[in-house]
Each structure stands twice: as C-alpha cells, then as structure tokens.
Amino acid sequence: MTTLTDRPATALLVIDVQNDVVGEAYERDAVVGRIHDLVEKARAAKTPVVWVQHHAEDDLVTGTEGWRIVAELEPAADESIVQKEYGDAFEGTDLEEVLARLGVGRLVVSGAETDACIRSTIHGAFTRGYDTTLVGDAHTAGDKTAWGAPPVDQVIAHTNLYWSFQGAPGRTATVVDAADVDFA
C-alpha cells in the first residue's frame, strides 16, 4: 500500500549488475541467474524493468568494459537505464521521473552491492513513499572483510533480516526469494 496513491504499477529495479561491481561478488553466477529469471518474469508480466548503472571517474568509467552490465543480462531497447554516481539511485538521477512516468509506486529490488547501493536505494525508495520489496536471494556484494566488514553472506542475511521488519505509515517493506516474486 504505497503512499503514492496515483501510482499502482510495480517495477523491477536492477542495480549495478556491472562487470567490475559483481566480478568477484559472493555467489555471483547464482545471483545473476536469479536476476535474469526475474527480468524474464517481469517482461512476461509486462512489468517495467528499470536498470541502474553506477559510474565513477576513478574506477567505473562510463563506456569501459568494467562499467558495462554483465553479458548475461541485456536491457531491452524500451527499458530505462538510469545512470548514477551516488549510492542511492534516486540521488542526482532521473529515477523518480522514470518511475512517475511509468506510474510505479512499488519497487522490487535486486542487484549489487548489498552493503552500499542496495541499502541506500531501498531506504531512499521507502522514504520517498514506495512499497519496497528486496529480493532476498538476488542481491550480492564483494568481500570487504579486509576493511573490518562481516563476511558477505552475513551482510546479506542481516540486510534481509532488518528489511523484513522495516515499517512506516502507508508503506510496506518486504523480503521475498526470487522464486516467490509475483509481478501480478
């Protein structure tokens, strides 16, 4: 029950599934495979798929191979691709305009990285009034234990846990497995 009452549609948001972002990510192939299946399921249900692509001058330079979306996933010609430079895909981008044009008030979120852009974007969506579903087995991150972070499987589990208890008036936050996503 989104607070965006004039926007009944759902969109699948695929965040930063780029070569250099997920190249060494935890369970990379399985997660990319589940995202692929979600994209196909969304397309079959005529649910918009919105792609988000991060760029940074120091490591994800626009147009380079590392910046490109992984080969297993191919945005369709009529699907929006939002370019971002901050963790929250809403900040400094046209994501809100894209979603408004599509009449979207509910987001199904997948991609990378769990402890950065996924967390920032699900919180950004929720505070902007979107019902926000995190696909619990379709997000991942690279290993950051060298900098004191927990192992990636624990980061994913913790994110799924706390998001399943998120709440606010007029909005829902949920976590579901990819196999249980319903775009109807």
pTM: 0.97
Give me the pLDDT at residue 2, please.
Answer: 81
Domain boundaries, position 21: 9-180
Asked whether residue 132 is domain-assigned, the answer is yes
Domain count along the chain:
1
CA distance linking residue 71 with residue 79, whole number of Å: 16
pLDDT in tens, the chain (184 residues): 688 989 999 999 999 999 999 999 999 999 999 999 999 999 999 999 999 999 998 889 999 999 999 999 999 999 999 999 999 999 999 999 999 999 999 999 999 999 999 999 999 999 999 999 999 999 999 999 999 999 999 999 999 999 999 999 999 999 999 999 999 7
Q: Which residue reads 């004191």 in tokens?
A: 148
Residue at 52 is within a domain: yes
Does residue 172 form part of some domain? yes
CATH of the domain at 16: 3.40.50.850
Domain presence at residue 1: no
55 occurs within a structural domain: yes
> What gap in Å lies between CA 140 and CA 28, rounded to an integer?
7
DSSP code at position 107: E
How far, in Å, are 106, 112, 126 from residue 109 at the CA level?
10, 10, 12
Residue 163: which H helix or E strand, with range? helix 152-164
**Could you tell me if 142 and 152 are in contact, meaning their C-beta atoms sit under 8 angstroms apart?**
yes
